[in-house]
Structure 1
Amino acid sequence: MGTLTYDSTTTVDIDDRDLAHLQLVIVGKLRRKECFLFTWENAPAAGGTTSIWMHPAANLTLSFSESSRQLRINRAWVEELAVSANSARGLLLTPEPADDDGSR
């Protein structure tokens, strides 16, 4: 289980695999100096959702419990996440779809 920490005030636990895919989308947008909303569902005990406004000047830390280099990237999922990041609703962490070869 990895973590995403935003501006030292908001920390969320995110599965390493999910975090690796989010990292590709988030870093890509921030490199292009694009701001966007990122929303995720809170842990069941807390309920609800949390949203943060991502912008290039924000302090962002992505920590992985395992090496993210060992994870196989699902390009279809990265594209799906990127489309949501470019929408009015912003980036939503959605379940991983089957990859081009039918695997996950």
Structure 2
Amino acid sequence: MGYIQYGVGDEIHIEDRALAHLKVVIATKLRRNESFTLSWQHHDGDADGRSTIWLHPAIPLRFTFEEPEAPQLNVKWIEQLMHSASSTGGISLTDEVLETPAD
């Protein structure tokens, strides 16, 4: 389980695979100097509910991964996350979009 450290706030714990995909999307948006929101549901052991933060290029951001090796990225999931990042609701961390074999 990795985490995002955003500004001086608490660590946001996110599973490493999801965090690797979020990192690509967040870095792309911030590199373009675009601000947006990120929303997620709290994990087991955290308070019930969900949270949203406003991401802005001027606020320090750190991604920390538990696993030393980066996972292979799923392009469809990145595309879905990028699409949501550009919407009025911002990124909603969703389950991975899995490839389905053609029949």
Q: How does 1:62-101 map to 2 (within 5 A)?
A: 62-69=63-70, 71-99=71-99
Partners of 1:100 and 1:61 lie apart in 2 by 33
Report the equivalent of 1:10: 10
Partners of 1:88 and 1:50 lie apart in 2 by 16
Partners of 2:97 and 2:88 lie apart in 1 by 22
Report the equivalent of 1:24: 24
User: Runs of 4 or more off by more than 6 Å in structure 1?
Assistant: none
User: What is the deviation of 1:90?
Assistant: 0.5
5+ unaligned residues in a row in structure 1: which ranges?
A: none
Report the equivalent of 2:57: 56
- C-alpha RMSD over aligned residues: 1.5
Report the equivalent of 2:48: 47
Partners of 1:8 and 1:101 lie apart in 2 by 44
User: What is the deviation of 1:60?
Assistant: 0.6
Q: Relative to structure 1, is the Cα distance of residues 68 and 23 closer, same or farther in structure 2, using a 3 angstrom cutoff?
A: farther
Q: Is the 8 A contact 1:20 1:68 kept in 2?
A: no
| Partner SS state of residue 83, structure 2 | helix
The number of residues matched between the two structures is 101
User: What is the deviation of 1:101?
Assistant: 5.4
5+ unaligned residues in a row in structure 2: which ranges?
A: none
